[in-house]
Amino acid sequence: MSLKSPWRKKAGVAVASLSVALLALTGCSSSSSADGGSSGATLVAYTGQAGDYQINFNPYSPTNIGGVGTIFESLFFVTQVNSDPYKPLLGTEYSWNDDGTELDVTLRDGVTWSDGEAFSADDVVYTFTMLTDVPAINGIGFDGVVEKVDDTHVTFTFEHPAFVDGPNILGKAPIVPEHIWKDIDPTTDVVGDPVGTGAYTLGNFKPQAFTLTANPDYWDGEPKVKTVRYLSLSGNTAGADALAAGSIDWQTGPVPDIENISKTYPGYDAITVPMNQMALLTCSNTDLGCTGPQTDPAVRKAIYYAIDRDQLNSLAFQGTASDVSPTFALPEAQGDLISDSIKEQIAPDTPDTDKVATILEDAGYTKGSDGIYAKDGVKLSLTVEVVTGWTDYITAIDTMTQQLEDVGIELIASQSSWNEWTNKKSKGKFELVIDSLGQGPANDPYYLYNNYFSTTNTAEVGKAAPVNISRYSDKAVDDALAILKSTNPDDVDARQEQFDIIQKKIVEDMPYIPIMTGGTTSEFNVEKFTGWPTLDNLYAFPAVWQSPDNAEVFKALKPTAE
């Protein structure tokens, strides 16, 4: 499943009718009013929110509950799930100079903020200047200077080639109105009355539910879905029950009988998108203080070949997981970027016990009387960290424990709270951690490689590592990443040369042991709405909690009643 998603915990009960209490909470039924639920022009969404909403529509706040994409727009829409040209929003055109130090953007003319004020280049300059002035909210790492050319043109300049910063600048920075935000503290204010340029404005807000209302003055025309209602329920079980009762229209996460959505939940369909690459993350680097048998690449490779991925998918992931590449390029979306020099481009579905034995014995391990390998008198035993309640990952560990024991490796699970698990992971106080490697802002493996394999993103054991928690460090990889950062994305051959270098090294060293690519499954009401993303038309990532992709879905949908 996804990184720290609210859907980490599996739904585990049979589908049943909604209780009176749940109906009272949601206020929804197939004949509900637009304000109360599932009328044709009202879409009811459940993001996994359990407990009351706390109002916060500040797009730069870590506790933001909504509005990114729907209320506040970026210059372009950029998504991880396809390589289509960026979709123009507040920007209409962009171009780089030859060395990637200057980015020119043309802005859309005639756009107004939802309070009637005109949008202009001043708002764009204000937003990006705010990011550099307030580092605490600068999650995209913007380090350039933006200047207004005229009301519909701005120029970004950098002291270094910034090609790879393009997706973040163009697609991951919600533009805010200067005339309002000049009086806002972006680090503390919750923005209870948001003013944006998006297709929706904030309607009613209550702790149990809030609504977004179609903006009649939206520059691209008022959307067909007139109201989006976000519900708070009691958890995954309540979400599955609501789906069975037809009182929600879109949710993301596991439900009972997930392979037969259209039969079990009449009027609904589902889509599973392979995005999150599950792995056993290892503390791999002895030079930075890692200790334990997982610091030996031979052990990491042996675990890789010991996993029965077919069995794992069936028992832990309801068949929703898919192939993973040891290069960590997504097989479906980025398969053409996997190096030809990698002979085994996809992780094996079934274990290779002979290969495991050869790898370990060549590395000096011998099998003891208990069937477990040992070296220098030390048993080949590893502890894997997992969050209590992450039932799919716990099932996966239980399954791998038996699989590894069959080939002579002992695996022990250690469950802890999310906070404790996060602390161990970030500070290197672990041998193995089960988690997923997240994608970057665009469909490009550079971002994953830079996050998880670059020396700049790691730290010594005991200090918090920003992203590269395996403590992996390799000069050839760092040099290739530096070249990629200054290479024009249009120069495919030059980029592939560097991908080849990176992939060869990380497959050899395997600091992250690939498990499978986790599928993110969303269920949606096809009886009431048309225009949902499909695998043949994946115009946005169809997870209800994914912003700004969810805004693109809302805008694309049409009620079938019209």
Per-residue pLDDT of the chain (562 residues; tens, 9 = 90+): 233 232 232 222 222 222 323 333 333 333 333 334 445 589 999 988 878 899 999 999 988 999 999 999 999 999 999 989 999 999 999 999 999 999 999 999 999 999 999 999 999 999 999 999 999 899 898 999 999 999 999 999 999 999 999 999 999 999 999 999 999 999 999 999 999 999 999 999 999 999 999 999 999 999 999 999 999 887 667 888 899 999 999 999 878 888 889 999 999 999 999 988 999 999 999 999 999 999 999 999 999 999 999 999 999 998 889 999 999 999 988 999 999 999 999 999 999 999 999 999 999 999 999 999 999 999 999 999 999 888 889 999 999 999 999 999 999 999 998 889 989 999 999 999 999 998 888 999 999 999 999 999 999 999 988 899 999 999 999 999 999 999 998 899 999 999 999 999 999 999 999 999 999 999 999 999 999 999 999 999 999 999 999 999 999 999 998 7
- Phi, psi angles (nearest 5°) of residue 542: -85, 35
Give the whole-angstrom CA distance, residue 553 versus residue 543: 10
- Which token pair is 342? 């990698």
CATH class of 275-519: alpha beta
In sequence order, which ranges of 308-427 are alpha helices (DSSP H)? 309-316, 353-362, 391-406, 418-427
User: Is there a contact between 419 and 391 (Cβ–Cβ < 8 Å)?
Assistant: no
Closest CA to 243 of 542, 519, 16, 520: 16
Residue 152 and residue 109 in contact, taking contact as beta carbons nearer than 8 Å: yes
> What DSSP element (H or E) covers 91?
strand 91-96
pLDDT of residue 459: 93
Task: Check: CB of residue 95 under 8 Å from CB of residue 103.
Answer: yes
CATH architecture of 20-61+198-267+526-559: 3-Layer(aba) Sandwich (3.40)
For position 39, what pLDDT does the model report? 54
Rounded CA-CA distance 240/236 in Å is 6
Task: Please provide the average confidence, as pLDDT, over all residues in the chain.
Answer: 90
* SS3 labels along 167-181: HHHHHCCCCCCHHHH
pLDDT of residue 253: 81
Residue-level pLDDT at 544: 95
Fold of 76-181: Dipeptide-binding Protein; domain 1 (3.90.76)
Q: At 93, which helix (H) or strand (E)?
A: strand 91-96
List the structure tokens of 273.
């998108």
Tell me the C-alpha to C-alpha distance, in Å, between residue 474 and each of 108, 326, 454. 44, 17, 8
Reading the block at residue 559, the tokens are: 């009620």
Indicate the residue type of 319.
Answer: G
The long-range contacts involving 32-37, CB below 8 angstroms and separated by at least 24 positions, are 32/247, 34/226, 34/227, 35/204, 35/211, 35/227, 37/229, 37/247
- pLDDT for the residue 450: 93
Q: Are 209 and 51 in contact (CB under 8 A)?
A: no
> Looking at residue 40, what is its pLDDT?
57
* pLDDT of 119: 98
Helix (H) or strand (E) holding 263: helix 261-264
Give the largest CA-CA distance in the chain.
78
Closest-CA residue to 127 (of 79, 191, 172)? 172
| Count of other CB atoms within 10 angstroms of residue 370 | 11
Closest CA to 474 of 456, 454, 488, 489: 454
Complete edge-to-edge strand list for the sheet that includes strand 378-379? 366-367, 373-375, 378-379
Q: Is 346 helix (H, G, I), strand (E, B) or coil?
A: coil
Torsion of CA 312, 314, 316, 322, to 10 degrees: 70
End-to-end CA distance of the chain: 36
- Asked if residues 442 and 411 have their Cβ atoms less than 8 Å apart, the reply is no
What amino acid is encoded at 453 in this protein? F
Q: Residue 548, preceding bond cis, omega within 30 degrees?
A: yes
CA distance to 70, 125, 133, per residue, from 122 (Å): 21, 5, 16
Q: Where along the chain do its domains lie?
A: 20-61+198-267+526-559, 76-181, 275-519
Regarding beta strands 381-387 and 432-437, do their DSSP bridges make them parallel or antiparallel, or are they unpaired?
Answer: parallel
List Cα–Cα distances, 168 to 78, 97, 139, 313, 547, in angstroms.
8, 18, 9, 34, 13
Give the model's pLDDT for residue 228. Answer: 98
